[in-house]
């Protein structure tokens, strides 16, 4: 005789029920809010009958009743996971349920699943909910590197590429990853890095939507760039190289793709990875410069691996985490389409700019 396994939890059982072990059947009575009867011997069959009644279906044969119950239980678990990405799937399962009648010849399964898969997904999402609640109260500025790493590692189960192949698990893992990046990274780790937070947030386009290209011109970002050592050095070199004789230059005349701007720290390093810059410059009589600056970058989270060399040098806990742990998560989320590429442009003018020689 072959061993019976519960179709919900997949554990072996040896009770007379057809589908569920006794513990799981109790849980299902709770989940569906039915009162468990005392006098009825086959409480599994009774549950399936009650489910059919709740769906206004009477006199179904046993097979239809049990198949209906499986779909309804799946739907109930999906309803407990509050992800709008599941709406379409839930609608299809509901339609399959509606089609079951005493007259229907076959039972449609527009969405195929096993209850065990649904049950495992439900448990993943509960674990995720608990962890994310804990992470919302973390002060990322104060914790040490090891703790920060442990927190992120505890979440790493949601970055599982193998869950991409099934539409239900794809929707659930997509949703969890989306929440992770919004809450933990944009709203937590990057709180004090507004440009990085803004660019990552824009990259997290809603499902099925492409992110819009961004044009940045807020005062804080422009000030950060203006004060940045790498930027200052680059402007100095360019004015010396192309502007010494003529007192003016347009970089596009010399360098078709602009010059590389590799920021070395802080918000700009996290935000812009392979940025290039164009400059149009005109010298004033008092030796200051009027500059028209255009910085372009393609936002691509998987670029973060290039932070590695900075991480070794800078010894900052987040540079390190971004270049290793979060980078790996980012690669998976890019495959899921949670994190998407787009173009960033930063344009501004600096008048009476003093080049420090």
The smaller minimum CB distance to Zn ion, of residues 4 and 340, is found at 4
The smaller minimum CB distance to Zn ion, of residues 8 and 171, is found at 8
230, containing H or E segment: helix 229-242
Pull the structure tokens for residue 55: 């769906």
Q: Which residues share a beta bridge with 250?
A: 280
The smaller minimum CB distance to Zn ion, of residues 28 and 271, is found at 28
> Can you tell me the distance from the alpha carbon of 130 to that of 151, in angstroms, rounded to the nearest whole number?
12
The smaller minimum CB distance to Zn ion, of residues 73 and 176, is found at 73
Other residues' Cβ atoms within 10 Å of the Cβ of residue 183: 14
The smaller minimum CB distance to Zn ion, of residues 24 and 93, is found at 24
CB of 122 to Zn ion, least distance (A): 13
> Can you tell me the distance from the alpha carbon of 354 to that of 18, in angstroms, rounded to the nearest whole number?
82
The smaller minimum CB distance to Zn ion, of residues 8 and 186, is found at 8
CB of 6 to Zn ion, least distance (A): 3
CB of 263 to Zn ion, least distance (A): 54
CB of 24 to Zn ion, least distance (A): 3
> Can you tell me the distance from the alpha carbon of 219 to that of 241, in angstroms, rounded to the nearest whole number?
29
> Can you tell me the distance from the alpha carbon of 98 to that of 264, in angstroms, rounded to the nearest whole number?
60
Which residues contribute to the site for Zn ion (CB under 5 A)? 6, 8-9, 21, 24
CB of 11 to Zn ion, least distance (A): 5
CB of 42 to Zn ion, least distance (A): 17
Q: What is the DSSP letter of 244?
A: T
Q: Which residues share a beta bridge with 293?
A: 279, 348
Specify the pairing of strand 248-250 against strand 259-261: unpaired
């Amino acid at each position: 005789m072959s061993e019976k396994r519960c179709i919900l939890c997949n554990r072996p059982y040896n009770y007379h029920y057809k589908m569920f072990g006794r513990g799981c059947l109790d849980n299902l009575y709770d989940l569906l809010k039915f009162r468990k009867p005392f006098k009825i011997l086959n409480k599994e069959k009774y549950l399936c009958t009650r489910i059919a009644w709740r769906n206004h279906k009477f006199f179904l044969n046993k097979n239809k009743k049990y198949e209906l119950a499986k779909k309804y239980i799946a739907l109930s678990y999906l309803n407990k996971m509050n992800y709008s990405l599941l709406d379409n799937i839930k609608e299809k399962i509901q339609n399959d349920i509606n089609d079951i009648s005493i007259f229907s010849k076959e039972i449609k399964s527009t969405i195929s699943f096993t209850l065990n898969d649904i049950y495992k997904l439900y448990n993943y999402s509960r674990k995720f909910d608990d962890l994310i609640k804990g992470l919302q109260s973390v002060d990322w500025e104060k914790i040490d590197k090891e703790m920060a790493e442990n927190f992120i590692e505890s979440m790493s189960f949601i970055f599982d590429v193998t869950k991409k192949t099934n539409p239900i698990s794809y929707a659930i893992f997509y949703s969890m990853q989306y929440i992770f990046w919004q809450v933990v990274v944009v709203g937590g780790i990057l709180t004090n890095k507004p440009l990085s937070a803004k660019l990552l947030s824009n990259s997290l386009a809603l499902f099925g939507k492409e992110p819009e290209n961004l044009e940045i011109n807020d005062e804080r970002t422009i000030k950060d760039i203006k004060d940045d050592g790498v930027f200052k050095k680059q402007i100095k070199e360019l004015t010396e190289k192309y502007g010494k004789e003529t007192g003016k230059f347009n970089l596009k005349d010399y360098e078709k793709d602009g010059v590389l701007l590799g920021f070395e720290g802080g918000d700009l390093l996290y935000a812009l990875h392979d940025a290039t810059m164009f400059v149009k410059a005109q010298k004033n009589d008092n030796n200051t410069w009027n500059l028209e600056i255009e910085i372009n970058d393609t936002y691509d989270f998987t670029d973060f691996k290039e932070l590695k060399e900075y991480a070794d040098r800078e010894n900052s806990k987040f540079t390190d985490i971004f270049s290793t742990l979060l980078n790996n998560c980012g690669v998976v989320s890019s495959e899921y389409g949670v994190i998407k590429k787009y173009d960033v442009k930063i344009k501004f003018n600096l008048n009476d700019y003093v080049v420090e020689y």
